């Protein structure tokens, strides 16, 4: 027997109500969904160097919870060399962001978050050398003298183009740790590293046959940014918003200057006591951030006096 029309119609408001509840549930779930953000597990041996970036990611994302929701940071399962990480991120595979020195090629492949995470400090480069060669480097007083020597760098690192553009000969290796073996084996003469990298790397090597060179320094524009996939506008906006808020409330500078590796590296390097070679970086895009002095390390900052 057919159900009365009245009873069938009386169910309609309930169905509409349940449908509205379901839509609200979906909207609420989407609105408050946790962002799971995967970053590349680092190949290099300087864990304390990367601890700054882990803390910075956490700081920046925590600033934006009210606007973007909760988050979870996770490393990739395997170590990912830098060049491979760039390619994977451009293809939106396995990682969501990375931090690295910029270049025109990288900014074509990825979306940069225009905020220098090390205040330009990465462009101050000192050398890891063989201990037996310190006297040779101490007697270098001109750039032409230095250009007679071979430098070593990782395959695809932006520094390679910068060094070659300035007339410096470069030997590359796809394996970061193999660079130290190549230096020991006299495949090249020196390994330029950022001042926040060199001291920790040398300490972790625990090898008296290598040392941080005491006399010379390269200086060039080398901002280090967060990078995301070009289509990941949400994460780009979240990172930029968080960095801006952290700069405005002082927490970015507090983290930067509190980081013991940064402070100790600057003090150990004694920038003012070195012969500085200023290099041209043809691979950096000039943006308005270079006009904002609050984003960059000043000469006064380098002494912490």
CA 228 vs CA 55, 93, 157, 190, 225: distances in Å = 18, 11, 18, 32, 10
Query: Do 97 and 181 lie in a common domain?
Result: no
Burial of 300 (0-12, 13-18, 19+ CB in 10 A): exposed
Model confidence, pTM: 0.76
Tell me, yes or no, whether 93 lies in a domain.
yes
Domain that holds residue 113: 33-121+223-274+283-303
Residue 45 and residue 81 in contact, taking contact as beta carbons nearer than 8 Å: no
Structural domain includes residue 7: no
Do 102 and 156 fall into the same domain? Answer: no
Number of domains, the chain = 2
64 and 99 share one domain:
yes
Residue 78 dihedral angles phi and psi, to the nearest 5°? -115, 160
Cα radius of gyration (the chain)? 25
Same domain, 71 and 126: no
* Local confidence pLDDT in tens for the 305 residues of the chain: 555 544 544 555 555 555 565 555 454 444 557 899 999 987 454 456 678 899 999 999 999 999 999 999 999 998 888 889 999 999 999 999 999 999 999 999 999 999 999 999 989 999 999 999 999 999 999 999 999 999 999 998 989 999 999 999 999 999 999 999 999 999 999 999 999 899 989 999 999 999 999 999 999 998 999 999 999 999 999 999 999 999 999 999 999 999 888 888 999 999 999 999 999 999 888 888 988 989 998 754 554 44
Whole-number Cα distances in Å, 162 to 209, 222, 293 = 28, 10, 24
Same domain, 212 and 236: no
Residue 130 maps to which CATH number?
A: 3.40.190.10
Q: In 3D, which of 39, 45, 163 has the Cα closest to residue 100? A: 39
- Name the β-bridge partners of 150: 169
């Amino acid at each position: 027997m057919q159900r009365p029309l009245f009873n069938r119609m009386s169910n309609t408001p309930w169905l509409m109500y349940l449908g509205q509840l379901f839509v609200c549930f979906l909207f609420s779930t989407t609105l408050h969904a946790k962002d799971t953000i995967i970053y590349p597990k680092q190949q290099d041996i300087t864990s304390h160097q990367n601890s700054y970036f882990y803390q910075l990611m956490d700081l920046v994302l925590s600033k934006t919870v009210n606007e973007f929701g909760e988050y979870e940071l996770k490393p990739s399962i395997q170590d990912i060399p830098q060049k491979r990480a760039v390619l994977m991120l451009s293809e939106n595979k396995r990682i969501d962001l990375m931090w690295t020195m910029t270049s025109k090629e990288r900014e074509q492949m990825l979306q940069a978050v225009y905020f220098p995470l090390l205040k330009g400090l990465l462009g101050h480069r000192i050398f890891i050398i063989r201990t037996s060669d310190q006297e040779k480097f101490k007697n270098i007083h001109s750039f032409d003298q230095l250009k007679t020597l071979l430098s070593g760098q990782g395959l695809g690192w932006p520094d390679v183009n910068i060094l070659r553009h300035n007339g410096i000969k470069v030997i590359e290796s796809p394996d970061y740790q193999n660079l130290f073996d190549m230096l020991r084996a006299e495949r090249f003469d020196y390994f330029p590293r950022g001042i926040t990298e060199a001291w920790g790397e040398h300490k972790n090597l625990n090898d008296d046959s290598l040392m941080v060179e005491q006399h010379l320094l390269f200086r060039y524009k080398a901002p280090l940014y967060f990078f995301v996939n070009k289509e990941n506008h949400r994460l780009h906006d979240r990172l930029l918003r968080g960095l801006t808020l952290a700069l405005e409330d002082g927490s970015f500078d507090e983290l930067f200057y509190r980081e013991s590796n940064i402070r100790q590296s600057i003090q150990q390097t004694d920038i003012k006591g070195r012969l500085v070679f200023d290099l041209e970086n043809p691979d950096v895009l000039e943006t308005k951030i270079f006009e904002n002095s609050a984003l960059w390390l000043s000469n006064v900052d380098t002494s912490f006096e």
